[in-house]
């Protein structure tokens, strides 16, 4: 921060000397520096640094308290998390009324319904479901509501790259357009209704670590 201040001061002095003598080296053939914008950008950077470094102890304690509160609420609503690949995955301790409602919960915690992007992540999430007690069916991201049989992530619209169905699934029984991992079947995939199905069903969020 001290060095930024020094640089700002030097820039300021250079500006003054340029204005005082128009024939000085400032008016040479060298391309002109837009000193004002350099200064503006330095001041802006200094402000950014300040948003963290210039907090008072009282403010830092408020931030800490708020983080603790979020953690306490998270622990109330979700089973202990899985940390994988710089992400945090959590399974709800309560059912969902719809996949939209589940997504709203995930969004409220800064994330989204867990999206399986590759085989390693799939294996990690399967094991997470298998190792989490009192959980059987767990909703994750993926829907074929728009075109039956074409599975896409609700958030991005991108295709679900890994589809590893339980034998006999997807059966679209009644109308099943949402994706879940089923512990009873090794944590493999099944289609199930996007609305409320059972008070035993849970959902999984993918959150920033």
Which range touches Ca ion (CB under 5 A), out of 34-42, 75-83, 160-168, 185-193?
A: 185-193
CA distances (Å), 205 to each of 40, 183, 184, in order? Answer: 41, 17, 20
Least CB distance to Ca ion at residue 78 (A): 25
Least CB distance to Ca ion at residue 177 (A): 4
Cβ nearer to Ca ion, comparing 74 with 172: 172
The DSSP symbol for 178 reads E
Cβ nearer to Ca ion, comparing 111 with 142: 142
Cβ nearer to Ca ion, comparing 144 with 201: 144
Contacts of residue 102, defined as CB under 8 A and 6 or more positions apart, other chains included, come to: 92, 96, 113, 139, 203, 205
- Residue 177 binds Ca ion, judged by CB under 5 A: yes
174: left (phi over 0), alpha (psi -120 to 50) or beta: left
Which range touches Ca ion (CB under 5 A), out of 40-48, 70-78, 152-160, 182-190?
A: 182-190
Structure tokens at 108: 């409220």
Q: Binding marks (x or -) toward Ca ion, 133..172, rule CB under 5 A?
A: -----------x------------------------x-xx
- What span, in angstroms and rounded, lies between the C-alpha atoms of 136 and 167? 17
The DSSP symbol for 184 reads G
- Residue 201 binds Ca ion, judged by CB under 5 A: no
Among 191, 193, 202, 204, binds Ca ion (CB under 5 A): 191
CA nearest 137: which of 90, 197, 75, 78? 197
- Residue 176 binds Ca ion, judged by CB under 5 A: yes
Q: Are 143 and 194 in contact (CB under 8 A)?
A: yes
Residues at the contact surface with Ca ion, assessed by CB under 5 A: 144, 169, 171-172, 176-177, 190-191
């Amino acid at each position: 921060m001290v060095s930024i201040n020094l640089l700002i001061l030097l820039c300021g002095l250079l500006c003054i000397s340029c204005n005082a003598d128009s024939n000085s080296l400032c008016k040479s053939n060298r391309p002109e520096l837009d000193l004002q914008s350099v200064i503006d950008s330095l001041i802006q950077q200094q402000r950014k640094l300040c948003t963290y470094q210039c907090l008072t102890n009282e403010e830092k304690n408020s931030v800490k308290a708020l983080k603790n509160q979020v953690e306490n609420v998270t622990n109330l609503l979700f089973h202990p998390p899985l940390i994988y690949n710089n992400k945090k995955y959590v399974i709800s301790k309560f059912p969902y009324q719809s996949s939209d409602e589940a997504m709203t919960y995930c969004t409220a915690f800064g994330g989204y319904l867990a999206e399986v992007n590759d085989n390693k992540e799939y294996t990690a999430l399967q094991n997470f479901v298998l190792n989490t007690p009192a959980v059987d069916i767990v909703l994750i991201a993926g829907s074929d509501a728009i075109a039956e049989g074409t599975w896409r992530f609700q958030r991005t619209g991108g295709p679900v790259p890994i589809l590893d169905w339980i034998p006999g699934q997807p059966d679209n029984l009644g109308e099943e357009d949402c994706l879940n991992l089923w512990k009873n079947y090794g944590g493999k995939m099944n289609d199930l209704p996007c609305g409320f199905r059972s008070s035993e069903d849970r959902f999984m969020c993918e959150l920033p670590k």
